[in-house]
Structure 1
Amino acid sequence: MKWNLRLAAANRGIWKASELQRMLAEHGLVISAGKMSGLWSGEPASIKLSDLDVIVAVLGCGIQEILIPEPVTSGVAEKPSVPVARVAGESGSPAAPPVPRRRDGRSLPPL
């Protein structure tokens, strides 16, 4: 979903976050300046549905104007092909011993 509060407000002639904040307070939704800044300029991490109801009522718009669906991407990068070690006895070659690796990317000390 794409958060589109600023454009929805601009379509109604509201150009400042403080103006919308005042209008929301008149309808019983008191929002701090910090939270209002996050709602106005970015994508909020979370928002209460009851708060969203008040915002929609104050702007006189539908929820679809504030929350716009975007195409879903899997977010999972393709895994590079990793050679699989052969099991002893398979094709006559013994399996290579596992090589320990650090998780933080640093090299292991010399032996």
Structure 2
Amino acid sequence: MKWNLRWVAAKRDIWRPTDLLAAFREVGFNPSLSKVAALWGGTPVTVRLDDLDRICQALHCTVADLLEAEPLTDQQGGEQAPQAAAAGAEPGPVRPVPRKDGPRRRRPPN
């Protein structure tokens, strides 16, 4: 994923983490300056969904503006296609299918 926070902020004439923090506080989002600086300085490993909503609210943008999918690359630098779970297997159903053999569980396990 590509993190476009600085690009989106620049479109709103926000050029420093302290300016971004002020925009966050206008919408009631009060992260620490160090957290804002970490979001500003690079691609975060994780972002809470409610924080992502507040960032979008402060910058008047969508999640698609902040996050951009990039193709996966292999070790040699070439593009890598998504792989199936088993080699040569056809794609299966997206949702799990209940088993037709054996008894069905009535209650969840303890």
Which interval holds the TM-score relative to the shorter structure? 0.5 to 0.7
Give the unaligned 5+ runs of structure 1: 78-111
Would the aligned equivalents of 2:2 and 2:70 in 1 still touch at CA under 8 Å? yes
Alignment-derived partner of residue 24 in structure 1: 24
2:8 and 2:71 mapped to 1: Cα distance? 21
1:65 and 1:50 mapped to 2: Cα distance? 16
Alignment-derived partner of residue 42 in structure 1: 42
1:52 and 1:76 mapped to 2: Cα distance? 33
Alignment-derived partner of residue 59 in structure 1: 59
Report the number of matched residues.
77
- Please state how far the C-alpha of 1:33 moved relative to its aligned partner: 1.5
- Identical counterparts, % of pairs: 40
Give the unaligned 5+ runs of structure 2: 78-110
Secondary structure of the residue aligned to 2:70 is: coil
2:36 and 2:18 mapped to 1: Cα distance? 8
Residue-by-residue CA offset, 1:48-75 (whole Å, 9 max, x unaligned): 1001001111111121111011002345
TM-score by length of 1: 0.63
- Please state how far the C-alpha of 1:12 moved relative to its aligned partner: 1.2
- Please state how far the C-alpha of 1:26 moved relative to its aligned partner: 2.2
**One-letter amino acid matched to 1:46:** T
1:75 and 1:57 mapped to 2: Cα distance? 38
Residue-by-residue CA offset, 1:1-49 (whole Å, 9 max, x unaligned): 1111011100111111111111112212111111111100101121110
Which consecutive segments of 4 or more residues in structure 1 shift more than 6 A?
none
1:75 and 1:62 mapped to 2: Cα distance? 32
Alignment-derived partner of residue 6 in structure 2: 6
Would the aligned equivalents of 2:26 and 2:58 in 1 still touch at CA under 8 Å? no
Larger radius of gyration: 1
